Amino acid sequence: MISMVLISSCGSTVEGPSLASLERRYFDGVRWRHVLIQLNQLAVERRMNTTNDSELAKPTASTNTIMLRQGAASVAALEDVARQMQQAQPDIIAISGYVKFADDHQAPAQRLRNTFALRLQAGLNPGPLLAKHQARQLETVSYNADTYLCEATSTTLFAVLDVVTALQQENGVVFVTPQIEQMRNKR
C-alpha cells in the first residue's frame, strides 16, 4: 500500500543548495546516468498492526510518501528530518530518499533503495571490496555471471549513491548501479 502525506519540514529554506551538491552519477553498464537528489520527499516504510496470531507470522509493511511542505535546505537537513521521524515513531522500519533522472524532467521522482547491483570481472571476490566501502553482499544473481545484489550498510538516505560512486572507481568493477524503484503515475 502506498499513500501520500504532507508535512512541514525542519530547517530553513532561505538559500537552496547548489545543483552540483544534489547531482550524482553512476554507470549502469550501458551509459552514465545522472540523478538529482530530491529534498522534498521521503518514503516511510512502517510495520502494519496485525489483529490475530496467524497474521503475526507474516511481517507486513506499508510505504507512505511524505511530501515536505518546504523542501529541506540541504541533504544534511533532510537526513535530520528522517532521523527525527525515525526516533519519534517506533513503527518505522526504514526511510528512503527520492531521486529524479537529470535527463528526464517529465518523469516523477523515483524512490532510491539502499541496494545495488554489482558486476565484477570474472573470478573476483566481492567480499573485500564491499567491506572496504561499507556494503555487504545479499545474494549472487543466478542468471548473470559475476553479478551480485548488494546493500549499503550505512543508514543515511543516500549512502547507496556514495557507495556506487566509490565502487565504480575500483579496478575490476564492470558496472555498479543502484536500485531505483520506478514510480508510475496513476491513470
> How many distinct structural domains can be found in the chain?
1
Give mean pLDDT, residues 120-136. Answer: 95
Question: Is 108 exposed, middle or buried, given 0-12, 13-18 or 19+ CB atoms closer than 10 A?
Answer: middle
Q: How far apart are the first and last CA of the chain?
A: 17
List Cβ neighbours of 79 (8 Å cut-off, separation of 6 or more). 156, 157
Range of the domain at 40: 2-181
**Is the per-residue pLDDT at 129 higher than 60?**
yes
Residue 187 lies in a domain: no
3-state secondary structure of 181: strand
Give mean pLDDT, residues 16-45. Answer: 84
Q: How confident is the model at residue 28 (pLDDT cuts 50, 70, 90)?
A: confident
pLDDT of residue 11: 42
Residue 184 to residue 110: CA distance in whole angstroms: 9
pLDDT of residue 142: 86
Kindly give the pairing relationship between strand 147-152 and strand 110-120.
Answer: antiparallel
Residue 160 lies in a domain: yes
Residue 57 lies in a domain: yes
Give mean pLDDT, residues 3-7. Answer: 41
- Give the CA distances from residue 159 to residues 15, 83, 115, in Å, rounded to whole numbers and listed in that order: 24, 14, 10
Residue 20 lies in a domain: yes
Given a contact cutoff of 8 angstroms between Cβ atoms, the answer to whether 133 and 163 are in contact is yes
Given a contact cutoff of 8 angstroms between Cβ atoms, the answer to whether 26 and 32 are in contact is yes
List Cβ neighbours of 36 (8 Å cut-off, separation of 6 or more). 19, 22, 23, 99, 100, 101, 102
Residue 186 lies in a domain: no
Question: Model pTM?
Answer: 0.78
The 10s digit of each residue's pLDDT in 54-103 is: 555 555 678 888 898 888 999 999 999 999 999 999 899 889 999 999 88
pLDDT of residue 27: 81
**Is the per-residue pLDDT at 153 higher than 50?**
yes
**Is the per-residue pLDDT at 106 higher than 60?**
yes
